[in-house]
Amino acid sequence: MSTANLPALYTYLQEEKTRAYVADQIEESQLMVPPFEKMENLTNTSYAQAHFQFQQDGNVNILVNRDGEVMESVFSMTGVLTGKSTMPYLTNRELTQIPAYGRFGHQYIALTAPGLSTIATIKHAISVVHVMASLICPEGSLRPLTDLFLDGEDAVLASAPLGTPAHHAHPDDTPLVLTQQQDPNGHVQQYCQQRGLLVLQDNQVDVFPGFAQGNVSHLRSRFVRMAAYLSTSAGMYDLHGGTSGALLRAGQIVRVEVGFRIVPVGQGKFALRMDLKSAAIMNDDVVAAMAFAEAATRINSARRTISVAGPGPSTILARVKRAKRNQAATEKDVADMDTLGDLPFPPAST
């Protein structure tokens, strides 16, 4: 499904039965996430301040756990995919043609949840992190948050730059070489080289299936089903030999992992960036249902038809002028019918 068909997607998602199904799938997806990685838990300001803090790392400040290990905190949120720009980019136009809400030179994913409070909760959590970031920046230097609406629906956007400026990289950072699956025509590599960017691990976005390979709906307990999901989808990071954002489609229920960092944007200003780390496709039933519905509509609608027919009563009969046969040859053919089965040469004598 194309992201240009969002009104039809929203109409389908607003149906009571569909909305209840999506809400259940989002809840089950978040049940798999450890408590310290749930985005919704950041809405509690006391919890957020007690367990997380911004730590300076070069020219940026990264949100880390307050456990002494100084590791970047990663949070998960789940919603309905409504916009994306991810590798592989088959043409240079796909890489450079970014809509108004996307960021140039970034991979991004936009999530919505029509009729649900999911996105409002996520935005509340982001606002708490934004306040924490503002407290360690010079007063008034942190850019305010921007609300995003896609066709009237509240949305959130997570992105990751395709490359890191060489002067921002650490001396021990090792540039990566993109695989054939990630960058089949070399557009990303060329884009980064022209701008002096290095492709580092922080610039990678993993895309993988998060749904179970097999039916686990017969299991009664939701938590038992979650364990089954985890066991059947573990290690499934490869799609056709490599990570593939091409499998992302509008309408899928997707769980993304994000991190937060404060980055300089020039003239003494800073911005809070929500970095996209990975995207797990949790459910694509909505996409399938809409695809079959669209196919059924096309079958019943007027279509351009090309009809090819052979000679018959309803067509022009092509008459072939035949050459006249020699009457003597015809009479000879009839006379030879009695000896047609005889051998053309006499049998060998004994």
Chain-wide mean pLDDT for the chain?
79
Q: State phi, psi for 310 to the nearest 5 degrees.
A: -90, -175
Residue 346, pLDDT score: 53
Write the pLDDT tens digit of every residue in 283-324: 888 888 877 777 777 777 666 666 665 555 555 545 555 656
Write the pLDDT tens digit of every residue in 113-172: 988 999 999 999 999 999 999 999 999 999 999 888 888 889 999 999 999 888 888 788
Residue 328, pLDDT score: 57
Indicate the pTM of the whole model.
Answer: 0.74
pLDDT under 70: residue ranges of the chain? 1-5, 211-246, 301-350
Residue 121, pLDDT score: 95
Residue 221, pLDDT score: 43
Residue 288, pLDDT score: 82
Coil, helix or strand at residue 72: strand
Beta strand extents in 105-222 (DSSP E only) = 106-112, 148-150, 153-161, 164-165, 197-198, 206-209
Going from N- to C-terminal start, the domains of the chain cover 3-290
Residue 143, pLDDT score: 94
Residue 214, pLDDT score: 46
Mention every residue, 6+ apart, whose C-beta is less than 8 A from residue 247.
207, 209, 239, 281
Residue 115, pLDDT score: 87
Phi-psi region of 267 (alpha: psi -120 to 50; beta: other; left: phi over 0): left
